[in-house]
Amino acid sequence: MRETHTAVVLFIGDRVYKLKKPVDLGFLDFTTVAARRSDCVREVALNRRFAPEVYLGVGEFHGPGTDDESEPVVVMRRMPADRCLSRLVREGVDVGDALRAVARQLAARHADAPRSREVDEQGTRDALSSRWEASFAQIRAMVGDGGLPDGVAEVERLVRRYLAGRSPLFDARIEQGRVVDGHGDLLADDIFCLDDGPRVLDCLEFDDRLRSVDGLDDAAFLAMDMEQLGAPEAAAYFLAQYSEYSGDPAPPSLRHHYVAYRAFVRAKVSLIQAQQGTPGAEAAARRLVSAALRHLRTSSVCLTLVGGLPGSGKSTLSGALADRLGVTLLSSDRLRKELAGIAAEEPAAAAYGEGIYSPEWTARTYATLLDRAASLLSAGESVVLDATWSDAEQREAAQRLAGRTSTDLVALHCRVPGDVSAARLDTRAPGASDADLDIATAMAAKEPLWTEAVPIDTSGPLESAVVQALAAVRPWGTSQAPVFRRPYMEPD
pLDDT tens digit sequence for 413-425: 999 887 777 777 7
Best CA proximity match to 265, nearest among 134, 81, 360, 458: 134
Q: Who has greater pLDDT, 209 or 41?
A: 41
Q: How far apart are CA 396 and CA 400, in angstroms?
A: 6
Best CA proximity match to 387, nearest among 330, 325, 468: 330
Q: Who has greater pLDDT, 442 or 473?
A: 473
Rounded mean pLDDT of 463-469? 94
Tally of domains within the chain: 3
- Does residue 148 carry a pLDDT above 80? no
- DSSP line for 18-65: EEE---B-SS-B--SHHHHHHHHHHHHHHHTTT-TTTEEEEEEE--TT
Residues 70 and 6 in one domain: yes
Residues 215 and 317 in one domain: no
Residue 480, domain member (yes or no) = no
Alpha helices in 247-347 (DSSP H): 252-275, 281-299, 314-325, 332-340
pLDDT in tens, 82-118: 999 999 999 999 999 999 999 999 999 999 998 899 9
Whole-number percent of the chain with pLDDT over 70: 92
Best CA proximity match to 201, nearest among 35, 9, 43, 41: 43
Residues 195 and 253 in one domain: yes
CATH at 396: 3.40.50.300
Residues 51 and 92 in one domain: no
Q: Is 226 exposed, middle or buried (0-12, 13-18, 19+ CB in 10 A)?
A: buried
Task: Compute the half-sphere exposure of residue 394: CA atoms within 13 Å on the CB side of its CA.
Answer: 26
Residue 16, domain member (yes or no) = yes
pLDDT in tens, 428-464: 766 667 666 767 777 776 777 898 999 999 999 999 9
pLDDT at 359: 85
pLDDT in tens, 153-205: 999 999 999 999 999 999 999 999 999 999 999 999 999 999 999 999 999 99
- 167-175 helix and 359-378 helix, angle to the nearest 10 degrees: 60
Confidence of residue 313 (pLDDT cuts 50, 70, 90): confident
408-415 and 302-307 beta bridge pairing: parallel
Residues 276 and 198 in one domain: yes
pLDDT in tens, 330-371: 999 899 889 888 887 777 777 766 777 788 988 999 999 999
Residues 96 and 18 in one domain: no
Residue 490, domain member (yes or no) = no
Residues 65 and 178 in one domain: no
Confidence of residue 489 (pLDDT cuts 50, 70, 90): very low
Least confident range from 17-26, 145-154, 483-492: namely 483-492
Q: How far apart are CA 369 and CA 364, in angstroms?
A: 8
pLDDT in tens, 382-410: 999 999 999 999 999 999 999 999 999 99
191-194 and 71-77 beta bridge pairing: unpaired
Residues 336 and 194 in one domain: no
pLDDT at 490: 45
Residue 485, domain member (yes or no) = no
pLDDT at 491: 40
Residues 255 and 149 in one domain: yes
Q: How far apart are CA 319 and CA 385, in angstroms?
A: 10
Residues 323 and 452 in one domain: yes
- Does residue 486 carry a pLDDT above 90? no
Residues 252 and 341 in one domain: no
Residue 69, domain member (yes or no) = yes
The last residue of a domain, from among 15, 43, 75: 75
Residue 233, domain member (yes or no) = yes
Best CA proximity match to 176, nearest among 240, 111, 98: 111
Enclosing domain of residue 47? 2-75
Residues 25 and 138 in one domain: no
CATH at 114: 3.90.1200.10
CA 324: distance to chain centroid?
Answer: 17
Q: How far apart are CA 91 and CA 102, in angstroms?
A: 19
Q: How far apart are CA 73 and CA 18, in angstroms?
A: 5
CB atoms within 10 A of CB 433: 23
- pTM of the full structure: 0.87
